[in-house]
Structure 1
Amino acid sequence: MTETTASLLPYLGVLKVSGEDRASFLHNQLSNDVNNLPIAQACYATYNTPKGRVLANMLVLNTGDELWLIMSADLIEAIAKRLRMFVLRSKVTLANASDSLGVASNIVPTDEDYALPEVPPLLLNAELNDGVWRIALPHEGVLCVGDISALPAHNEKAELQWRSHEINHGYPWIRAANSETCVAQMLNQHLLGGVHFRKGCYPGQEIIARAQYRGQVKRGLVMYGSNQLVEAGEKLFDDAGEEVGVVINAIPQAMGSLILAVVKYSVENERLNTEKAAALDFKRRFYTVAEEAQ
């Protein structure tokens, strides 16, 4: 029997949203249907600028009494500050709970390829056991959220296995270094269940809808390898020196880095370079043929 690996994930944190207007407030701010998110369910979502650029992507968990927003830890304070600007008279409280609540991984390591979902999974099951919520993700990993004392300790090897698993399956996490660089479709949020196209207005909704229905997205997610260390937020260039993409996530490996980047469709197979002159070799793309033809 293959043993699961688990680790606290310090790069993720939790923003708690409470108050009787929490669902309607977030529904008007995020890209998914938070109003109809059942208790003990979660969903992916994005928070966007009015121009449709993703400030942060996240998992939204309905615990019953609160909504927990799981996102990159280095974005929580900025996102909380921005959301508070729009609370006005709504009965909503936002609190960075990362000091008490943690996020942990749980997977059975595998090298098996995983296809993108045929139908975007707008709802994800979550179970509460011994004070820890376990969210079953489409890529067959489980994200555990709860009191830090009830979660597994940080294990560097297990964390890297989780991050490698998500990169290999095309699941990005926007960090502070690349916030506002992409629209939701560039990050495949429409395929991973992060965008509900019939829920009504939210910041950036018009831009995201236009990109979806008029085929205006010309960049997508691609996985690369490099024999050098690469960091999130680094810009990518082709041989002519033109800026053609940005690194979303990158993890160190024995011989360099494994990278998830958003690049122009037209250059995905080319050998790209970072600002620091690290060369990237194409491994796999995560957007569909139909999108490529747009």
Structure 2
Amino acid sequence: MWTRIPSSSLRVTGADRVDFIHGQMTGDLKRAPVPGMVPCAFLNVRGQIEQFARVYRRADDIYVHLDAGHAPALLARLKRYRIFDQVELEDLTGTLGTVHVWQEADLPGWDPAGADVQAFALPGGGGTVLTARVNRTGTPGLDLHFLLADEPAVLAALGGREAPLEALEERRVQAGLPDVSRDALAGTLPQEIGLDVNGPLPAISYRKGCYVGQEIMARLEARGNTRYHLARLDAEGPEGWPAGAEVTLDGRTVGQAGHFAGGRSVARVRKELEPGTAVLVAGRPAIVQARPDPAGG
């Protein structure tokens, strides 16, 4: 079973590509193997998330995989910070496609005992696919990146059944995994939404060099005093709410809800809210639940 992932992407080349991207992102690209992948965020000076990305380090370039529509903003940001760096930046949106395979066993050619990132040709042709172990449903699956020109051959090699994106979203939300774009979590601190070292989607290194927003991240690591964390909201009725909807308790705002799927959503809520607390989300009743502890990956 597989699902198409709406995406955008950048390619970074040049002699300074690793140092340049490493100096912008929260993850530690320099410690990544080749090939390797690092989940990360790009922050503003207040430590708030502007984009979430998965950055692939390859022998000759860096591939930055982003949510749909996010490449232009990140490209503009990187161009502002490119001063004397020998790097070239290219928007590959419209050139590459991405599919998530729900189970590793469903992908011919993948070596389960091999590295977390592998590049190989699928049986039957279709060119090389860049493949990474990624947890999108609570169970590690595989993200495949390929030339859109090769999409018919890639999908034919996959076979099986295409699951709609909303089915994947239901599994993701049930597992308590955040999605910065679909859950409307841009503008929040990574530690508040599960992107910290011990969170469900670790995307920060506290041991790397400076980057935009790093001072705030170091301060939060030392003090550990974020007021919000990731939880799950279960609707009490059939109606849901839009991503980013306000969560209120006794008339005061206590968080924001993410994408509604399968009767619930992942949410950023104040830490003092106990599981079982009744709240309103965009005026609709819901119950705060502890976030499930999904499988790693």
Please tell me the TM-score bracket, short chain as reference. 0.7 to 0.9
CA distance in 2, matches of 1:242, 1:94: 45
Which residue matches 2:246?
Answer: 235
- Give the match for residue 116 of structure 1: none
Match of 1:125 among 95, 109, 116: 116
Counterpart for residue 102 of structure 1: 97
In the TM superposition, what is the alpha-carbon distance from 1:180 to its structure 2 partner? 4.0
Once the two structures are superposed, residues 85-127 of structure 1 have per-residue CA deviations (whole angstroms, 9 ceiling, x without a partner) of 1011212222221201112111149xxxxxxxxxxxxxx7111
Alignment CA distance shift 1:91-1:152 (3 Å): same
More deviation, 172-181/191-200: 172-181
Aligned to 2:145: 145
1:46–1:54 Cα contact (<8 Å) kept: yes
Q: Shift of residue 38 of structure 1? A: 2.0
Match of 1:115 in 2: none
1:65 Cα deviation from its structure 2 partner: 1.9
Amino acid in the other structure paired with 1:136: R
Among the aligned pairs, what percent are the same residue? 20
Q: List alignment gaps of at least 5 residues for structure 2.
A: 105-114, 122-127
Q: Structure 1 residues 280 and 152 mapped into 2: Cα distance closer, same or farther (>3 Å)?
A: farther
Q: 1:18 to 1:171 in 2, by over 3 A?
A: farther
Kindly provide the amino acid, as one letter, of the partner of residue 183 in structure 1.
L
In structure 1, the partner of 2:212 is 203
Contact 1:56 1:179 in 2 (8 A): no
Q: Aligned equivalents of 1:77 and 1:177: distance in 2?
A: 20
Superposition TM-score, scaled by structure 1 size:
0.80
Q: Tell me what 1:65 maps to.
A: 60
Residue type of the alignment partner of 2:246: K
- One-letter identity of the residue aligned with 2:180: I
Comparing 179-188 and 42-51, the one that deviates more: 179-188
Deviation at 1:179, TM superposition (A): 5.2
Determine helix, strand or coil for the equivalent of 1:249: coil
Q: Which amino acid aligns with 1:160?
A: E
Letter paired with 2:255: G
Asked whether the 8 Å contact 1:222–1:268 carries over to 2, the reply is: no
Q: Distance in 2 between matches of 1:182 and 1:37?
A: 26
Tell me the CA shift for residue 74 of structure 1: 2.7
Name the CA shift for 1:258/1:64 in 2 (closer, same or farther; >3 Å): farther
Contact 2:183 2:259 in 1 (8 A): no
Moved more, 62-71 or 159-168: 159-168
Structure 2 contact 278–286 (Cα < 8 Å) conserved: yes
> Residue 178 of structure 2: SS of its match in structure 1?
coil
Shift of 1:286: 5.6
**1:249 corresponds to which letter in structure 2?**
H
The answer to whether the 8 Å contact 2:182/2:258 transfers is: no
Correspondence 1:222 to 2:231: yes
Aligned residue among 190, 194, 197 for 2:203? 194
8 Å CA contact 1:74, 1:176 repeated in 2: no
Partner of 1:81: 76
1:149-160 pair list within 5 angstroms: 149-150=150-151, 151-152=154-155, 157-160=163-166
| Matches of 1:268 and 1:56, distance apart in 2 | 30
Aligned residues of 1:8 and 1:152 also touching (Cα < 8 A): no
- Report the equivalent of 2:291: 285
* Structure 1 residues 98 and 140, CA gap change in structure 2 (3 angstroms): same
Aligned to 1:165: 171
Does the 8 Å contact 2:178/2:266 carry over to 1?
A: yes
| Alignment-mate amino acid for residue 229 of structure 1 | G
What runs of 5+ residues in structure 1 fail to find an aligned partner?
Answer: 110-123, 288-294
**How many residues were matched structurally?**
261
Q: Is the 8 A contact 1:37 1:62 kept in 2?
A: yes
1:164: how far off?
Answer: 2.6
Aligned AA for 2:85?
S
TM-score, length-scaled by structure 2: 0.79
Distance 1:248 1:88, change over 3 A: farther
Partner Cα separation in structure 1 for residue 227 and residue 89 of structure 2: 36
Match of residue 264 from structure 1: 270
Post-superposition offset of 1:28: 0.7
Which structure would you say has the larger Rg? 2
SS, match of residue 217 in structure 1? coil
* Aligned partners of 1:45 and 1:194 also within 8 Å: yes
